[in-house]
Amino acid sequence: MNPANYLYLSALLFTIGAFGVLIRRNAIVVFMCVELMLNAVNLSLVTFSRMHGDLTGQVIAFFTMVVAAAEVVVGLAIIVSVFRTRRSASVDDANLLKY
Amino acid sequence: MFAAVGPSLGAVTLADGMTKTSNGEAVQFYVLGAVAVLGALGMVFSRKAVHSALSLAATMVCLAMFYLAQGAYFLGVVQIVVYTGAIMMLFLFVLMLVGVSSADSLVETIKGQRKLAVLAGVAFGVLVMTTLGHARLGTFQGAGPANAGGGNVKNIADLIFSKYFWAFEVTSALLITAAVGAMVLTHRERLVARKSQKELVEDRVRTGKRMTPLPTPGVYARHNAVDIPALLPDGSVAEDSVNATLVARTPVRDAVGLTAVTKQAMAVPRQGDAPSVESTANAANGGTE
């Protein structure tokens, strides 16, 4: 097997994640799709690191994980506070700034 | 599995000019890759958010296996601990907080959005795949040289604490900011003082609606579960014995059927009658002549 297959898998997962962000309305599921995209990119970083015999890719993937953890914490807090005021977790309902 | 794949992987990838992985890794890739893609699709297409979260957790575990197979031992373990262990559980906690049954509305707010999303998704996929197909990926070095010396964990630690030390320190500031931000965002200021027990009692007496506490569920019923309404002594259902949240979330279990069963079980023989087998059978048939 060509190790580049990992890159194709990563691209496929990223595409599925992006598609999910476009099509889903539940803010939490949209958030999970973003997580999937981050994970897909991590997979390609690890694969590149192996292809080049260089650990830099893994270090960047590690930092991505840290930033993703911080992002999840803040994002979920925002979703919870929006849900408290609007009683809804749908991204369509958060449209107060429109009017 | 990894004990078998790992060393052979190192041996294969260290060889010069090799562009193939071991057969074991190929099998692992195809099996787990299918699971990962199915998990991702399941996440996008599940109606319930809890199912999405569990599918995503499966995909993340598969990715951790890929990391381990590619010699990124540290990241493989961190992926399981941080992503599936911490982040996905955080997602599940928030799902429970927000309400499990918060399903998507199926009404399109933007006309034709779904069609456009499918089109954009396919186009993006084709774009990335063809780009990858034309990319010059260079020679395949393998994880061997990267993990040589002190091993994967030590080499990563050397990099993080020397070359990327500044980024690592900034990360700590980011994490603290995120924690404080989450606390600020979810903190709720109490606008009115909490009522004391005495005030609650006074309110109850003043309104005169119900003096006693609400009935507990399952009392005088056949089951003791919280989603089964209590039955009053005459066999009718006590509506307010089940938590309103439970009533909203799931249909409360068949109260009418329960009433019948309870009536049978609790049928009291008439005064003067001896509690014989016959009278119980009569009561069970619901017929009292």
With H, G, I as helix, E, B as strand and everything else as coil, classify residue B120: helix
Model pLDDT, residue B268 = 59
Under 8 Å between Cβ of B265 and B249: no
CB contact under 8 A, A32 and B71: no
pLDDT at position B105 is: 64
Return the pLDDT at A71.
92
Query: Taking CB atoms and an 8 Å cutoff, what residues of chain A touch B16?
Result: none
Q: Using CB atoms, which residue from B49, B59, B105 is nearest to A28?
A: B49
Give the pLDDT score at A41: 95
Tokens of B265: 């079980």
DSSP A9-55: HHHHHHHHHHHHHHH--BHHHHHHHHHHHHHHHHHHHHHHHHHHT-T
- Give me B281's structure tokens: 């059978």
Helices (H) and strands (E) counted in chain A, each on its own, are 3, 0
Give alpha helix (H) positions in B135-164.
144-147, 152-160
Which of B95, B146, B185 is facing A54, going by the closest CB pair?
Answer: B146
Is residue B40 a contact partner of residue A16, using CB atoms and an 8 Å limit?
yes
Percent of chain A with pLDDT over 70: 100
Q: Do A18 and B121 touch (CB under 8 A)?
A: yes
pLDDT tens, residue by residue, A24-70: 888 889 999 999 999 999 999 999 988 888 889 999 999 999 999 99
| C-alpha–C-alpha distance, residues B233 and B20, integer Å | 76
Contact B60 A25 (CB under 8 A): no
Task: Render each residue's pLDDT in chain B as its tens digit; 289 residues.
Answer: 444 444 444 444 443 345 677 888 889 999 999 999 999 999 998 888 889 999 999 999 999 999 998 888 999 999 999 988 889 999 998 888 887 655 566 667 778 888 899 999 999 999 999 998 888 777 777 777 777 777 888 889 989 999 999 999 999 999 999 999 999 988 888 888 888 989 888 888 888 877 877 878 776 666 677 777 777 777 777 777 777 777 766 655 555 566 666 666 666 554 554 444 444 444 444 444 3
Q: Beta-strand (E) ranges in chain B? A: 230-231, 237-238
Is A36 close to B118, i.e. CB distance below 8 A?
no
pLDDT the model gives residue B238: 76
Between A62, A65, A70, which is nearest B178 by CB? Answer: A70
What is the nearest CA distance from B26 to chain A, expressed in angstroms? 6
Assembly ipTM: 0.92
Mean confidence (pLDDT) of chain A: 88
- Test B160 with A19 for CB contact under 8 angstroms: no
